[in-house]
Amino acid sequence: MIVMVGNGKGGVGKSRVAIHLAALAVTAGVDTVLLDTDVIQGSSASWSRIRNDEGITPPVPVMVLPANPLRELVNLSQKYDLVVVDIGAQNYKTMTECAAVSDLVLVPCGNDQQEMEATEIVFKHLDAIGPQHRNGKVPAHVVLTRVSTNERAKSTQELREVFESMGMPVLQTVLPMRSAWAATGKTGRALHELRGKDKSERATAEMQALFDEVQQLCNEG
Ligand SMILES: Nc1ncnc2c1ncn2[C@@H]1O[C@H](COP(=O)(O)OP(=O)(O)OP(=O)(O)O)[C@@H](O)[C@H]1O
Ligand SMILES: [Mg+2]
At residue 152, φ and ψ (nearest 5 deg) are: -100, 15
Of all protein residues, whose CA lies closest to atom 28 belonging to ligand 1? 182
Whether 66 shows a pLDDT value over 80: the answer reads no
C-alpha distances out from residue 13 to 77, 82, 107, 153, 157, Å: 24, 20, 9, 20, 19
Query: Does the Cβ of 46 fall within 6 Å of ligand 1?
Result: no
Q: Chain-wide mean pLDDT for the chain?
A: 96
Q: Is CATH 3.40.50.300 what the domain over 2-220 is classified as, yes or no?
A: yes
Query: Does the Cβ of 175 fall within 6 Å of ligand 1?
Result: yes
Rg (CA), the chain: 16
3-state secondary structure labels for all residues of 45-89: HHHHHHHHHHCCCCCCCEEECCCCHHHHHHHHHHHCCEEEEECCC
Q: Residue 10 Cα, ligand 1 centroid: separation in angstroms?
A: 8
Q: What is the pLDDT of residues 100-124, one digit of tens each?
A: 999 999 999 999 999 999 999 999 9
- At residue 99, the 3 state secondary structure works out as helix
Q: Give the model's pLDDT for residue 113.
A: 97
Query: Does the Cβ of 146 fall within 6 Å of ligand 1?
Result: yes
Of all protein residues, whose CA lies closest to atom 30 belonging to ligand 1? 182
| CB burial string 151-186: b at 16+ within 10 A, e below | eeeeebeebbeebeeeebebbebbbbebebbebbee
Of all protein residues, whose CA lies closest to atom 25 belonging to ligand 1? 10
Q: Residue 5 Cα, ligand 2 centroid: separation in angstroms?
A: 9
Where are the chain's structural domains?
2-220
Region for 218 from its dihedrals, namely left if φ exceeds 0, alpha if ψ lies in -120 to 50, beta otherwise: alpha
What is the atom index within ligand 1 of the atom nearest the CA of 182?
Answer: 31
Q: Could you give the percent of the chain with pLDDT greater than 70?
A: 100
Region for 29 from its dihedrals, namely left if φ exceeds 0, alpha if ψ lies in -120 to 50, beta otherwise: left
Ligand nearest to the CA of 207: 1
Whether 155 shows a pLDDT value over 90: the answer reads yes
How far apart are alpha carbons 186 and 22 in whole angstroms? 17
Q: Give the model's pLDDT for residue 217.
A: 97
